Amino acid sequence: MRNVLRKCCAALLMAALPVLPVSAALETLSGNGEYIMEHNETMKEAQDVAFQEAMRSISQQAGVYIESTSQAKDSQLTHDEVTALTETVVQVKEKRFDRDILPDGKIKVRATVTATLDTDEADRLLERRVEAHKTKKRYEAARGEQAELKKRSESLQAEYDEAMLGGVNESTKRGDELMAQRKYAEAYTAYHHAVSVSPKTAELYSKRGESLRLQGKDDAAMQDYDTALSLDGQDALAHYGRASVLDKRGERAEAVKEYRLFMDIADIDFYDEEISRALDRILALEK
């Protein structure tokens, strides 16, 4: 029974004891500063200067700890980062000022400061800063890789575009040669290949339209002419082709309008024969 009572009393005593917080890991730092007053300065101003000198010494001591810990964690902090961390984890506990009168009558003020460095908090803040540095490095590395991939992609795209342009030019040239030989169906095939590779080029549609018109496929030709003009309203060959089809259909007014549009923009060096024919047809249609 006595043993039971002893155990109960011990339990009650343990429950009654306050739970003490785990104390932070504190390191005591001390620093000294001196300043000789000028005649026009107050004691408060002199003490402030001496105090700042003592605090610089303490900050340097704390900075040594932070920098060494930073290096151990493989993270190089800048001077400003070390200063910012030091100001956060150093707390002044005591400051004392002494004064001496020098032989020349001036007063020398001495400041003695005691402070604590919270190493646990310093480690926590440093860990966050290290992780931020690592994240920044990963981000910069990712951006570098992305830039390199973009550069490579642009280079490959340029090579591809150059190859495609060469194919378009070759097909267009072949189509022009076949048109000169009146081989309109074969010319259509060449132009069609060029259009499939470069579907945003108005000239290719107007040339393909001409190969269709000269085969008697007026409706399909008109579709190509309209597409060409939707891409480039100043495509002379498309206007000429439309005028020719409209003329054939007997739509005199519309044909004259298209012939005039063609003549307004046509280069005489390329369309000498077509310009002559357009003039003849305008005169004939307006009689």
- Regarding pTM above 0.75, the answer is no
Instruction: Read off the amino acid at residue 284.
Output: A
Residue 158 in tokens: 């340029």
pLDDT (0 to 100) of residue 205: 97
- Taking only the tens of pLDDT, the chain with its 287 residues reads 455 445 544 444 444 444 434 456 788 999 998 999 988 989 999 899 989 998 899 888 888 877 777 666 655 667 777 777 777 888 898 989 999 999 988 899 999 999 898 888 878 877 787 777 777 777 888 888 888 878 777 776 766 656 566 779 999 999 999 999 999 999 999 999 999 999 999 999 999 999 999 999 999 999 999 999 999 999 999 999 999 999 999 999 999 999 999 999 999 999 999 999 999 999 999 88
pLDDT (0 to 100) of residue 142: 83
Backbone phi and psi for residue 33, each to the nearest 5 degrees, phi listed first: -145, 145
Topology, domain 22-135:
Translation Initiation Factor IF3 (3.30.110)
Compute the C-alpha angle 279/284/287, nearest 5°: 125
CATH 1.25.40.10 at 182-285, yes or no: yes
Q: Which residue has the tokens 């005199």?
A: 252
Instruction: Read off the amino acid at residue 5.
Output: L
DSSP 8-state symbol, 89: H
Domain layout of the chain by residue ranges? 22-135, 182-285
pLDDT (0 to 100) of residue 285: 93
228: three-class secondary structure by DSSP: helix
Gap between the Cα atoms of 91 and 88, Å rounded: 8
Q: Where are the alpha helices (DSSP H) in 181-251?
A: 184-197, 202-213, 218-231, 236-249
241 with 206: CB under 8 angstroms? Answer: yes
272: three-class secondary structure by DSSP: helix
Gap between the Cα atoms of 174 and 194, Å rounded: 10
265 with 237: CB under 8 angstroms? Answer: no
DSSP-assigned letters across all residues of 119-153: HHHHHHHHHHHHHHHHHHHHHHHHHHHHHHHHHHH
Residue 209: CB atoms within 10 Å: 30
177: three-class secondary structure by DSSP: helix
- 33-to-109, 129, 237 alpha-carbon distances in Å: 8, 31, 92
Instruction: Read off the amino acid at residue 83.
Output: T
pLDDT (0 to 100) of residue 5: 46
